[in-house]
Amino acid sequence: MARAQSPIQLIPQPVSVQPQTGVFTLTKSTTINYDQADGKAVADMLSQQLNVPTGFGFVAKPGKAGKIQLNLNTTSNAQLGSEGYTLDASPKGVTITANRPAGLFYGIQTLTQLLPKEIGSQATTTATWTVPAVKITDYPRFGWRGIMLDVSRHFFPKDDVKQYIDQLAKLKFNTFHWHLTDDNGWRIEIKSLPKLTEVGAWRVARTGHYGDLAEPKPGEPTPYGGFYTQNDIREIVAYAQARNVTIVPEVDVPGHSMAALAAYPELSCTKAIVSVNPGTAFSEWYGNGTFKMKVENTLNPSDEKVYEFLDKVFTEIAALFPNPYIHVGGDECYKGYWAQDPGCQALMKKLNIRHVEDLQGYFMGRVEKILTAKGKKLLGWDEILEGGISPTATVMSWRGIKGGIEAAKEGHNVVMTPSTFAYLDYMQGDPTIDAPIYANLRTQKTYSYEPVPDGVEAKYILGGQGNLWTEQIPNLRYAEYMTYPRGWALSEVFWSPKEVKNWPNFVRRMETHFERADIAQVNYSKAIYDAIVRTTMKDGKLHMELASEAPGLDIYYSIDDTMPDQFSTKYSQPVDLPEGPITLRVVTYRAGKPIGHLITLSRDALQKRIGRF
């Protein structure tokens, strides 16, 4: 691949990178030392990380004269904070210095990115293990740098979750939001409520596109699913903590509760028997954000037994997760069953509220009291603003940035996670290539995201995260494909100074990370190399514009039923397509070699995408 490549290609980009002269060479005799006991765990992790690909057998030891030296400041460096570090590499060795072990941890992630790409190999390999001489000062822009993984739609085994967390930690993400319950499965053992996993963790087996699957049949076996025991949870929490990752659990209530109601139907308004949903069309959406549920999936806010149930759930969850937050969902709660329920009507009368929507505010208030009693803070999706919430609640803004702006102006802490920039389940490239789902989100748009909206005090923006909903993501390999490279882009949005962001520069660094990911056997999408096909109608003619995310690509196309290559028509300016039943074929090249997918679109398909993508 012909391209200019600097030896220092880091993601996320540090605050300051000053290349120096020469290289440090790692050999069998290189020593790894840490100057304080608190640095031992990170030094041990570095040794293990280096030993697999090099085969050198490093053992970290206490001391102050290591060729790779990890030091903790005795007097805190205010600039670095709790997660920053300095890295000084010269031909004589590498010194990483930080105030806290978290900073040392991030320093070693940068060090491994400075080493050759073979450092990611899962077996011993040969390489010249050199580190370019450089002085780096680095610290994060935001304190909350997260990725959410939904394990309800598809269950991800314990080892897959650990592997995913490990990848995130290498990118300096520090929060793993774990979406543990929804309509499609309850994934966490609650010992006082055994049916939640005996019934709620399992569903009928179905293959195909989510939303188009067949309803469960009476008596049909439910082999598909799984759950995490409390011991599994403890193990994963400890694994994450060792990598400076905080896990925020989510139990989605009062809507999105079909798996819970399959186990305990008496907690709904109708008390109807429901099944854990395998991905059927159980709701009708009306295009303006409103919808109707065909099957009840909401807890009954007027039933005291619901709050007794939630107290049991949150008692056990609070004991498993040491972080201060529990996410309680609050999104997409259908209130049609509440409106028809005598108990809900009586509660509304008692509370002197006229709108059924306000019952959600009452419900969330009760939930927050439960969490507060367990020493936890309530965190929810931006719908929790609608019914009124306490000043101490934290809001996750997902329906664009509007909810985040509103919440911040009311003095709430906010985590920005808008679907328009941060939904990793959305298509990354052309919908004829990626499996179709709700919307399209390209890496370049994700990279362009600015988490602090204009007119909002930055102190209320804790940070942001990407969300990976898994309706159509059945396994870790595909979860990786959907996460990267957009997850790399978000790592830089949340960690790096706003001023260093530069898309062409990021693309160059991203391409070196494609090579690193190949060796580490981490999957990713190459949609940035695919052509972007946009159409409009102008003066009654179908008008086509082609573009690419990666700079410097040549785009070739045909409309005469030939397969395009570098000898076909080269795109240079917008084109008016001729009348008739044409088929457009588009392909991208770089340096004379094909690089993107072939995209094929009929005239009908071109007309249907007018004004889209």
**What's phi and psi for 170, nearest 5 deg?**
-65, -25
CB atoms inside a 10 Å sphere around CB 605: 15
* Rg value, the chain, Cα: 26
Residues in the chain: 613
| Buried-exposed string 393-411: b where 16+ CB fall within 10 A, e elsewhere | bbbbbbbebebbbbbbeee
Q: Helix, strand, or coil here: 339?
A: helix
Under 8 Å between Cβ of 234 and 193? no
CB atoms inside a 10 Å sphere around CB 508: 16
Under 8 Å between Cβ of 50 and 26? yes
Which of the following is catalytic: 332, 471, 492, 549? Answer: 332
Q: How far is CA 139 from the centre of its chain?
A: 21
- State the DSSP string of 96-163: EEESSHHHHHHHHHHHHHHS-GGGG-SS------EEEEEEEEE--S-SEEEEEEE-SSS---HHHHHH
Q: What share of the chain is helix, strand, coil (3-state, %, to 5)?
A: 30, 25, 45
Distance from C-alpha of 302 to C-alpha of 299, rounded to nearest angstrom = 9
Q: How far is CA 593 from the centre of its chain?
A: 33
CB atoms inside a 10 Å sphere around CB 582: 16
* 553's tokens: 């690509």
DSSP state of 398: -
Distance from C-alpha of 173 to C-alpha of 492, rounded to nearest angstrom = 10
Task: Respond yes or no: is residue 457 known to be catalytic.
Answer: no
**What's phi and psi for 323, nearest 5 deg?**
-70, 160
CB atoms inside a 10 Å sphere around CB 357: 15
Distance from C-alpha of 532 to C-alpha of 329, rounded to nearest angstrom = 35
Q: Helix, strand, or coil here: 314?
A: helix
Active site residues: 332
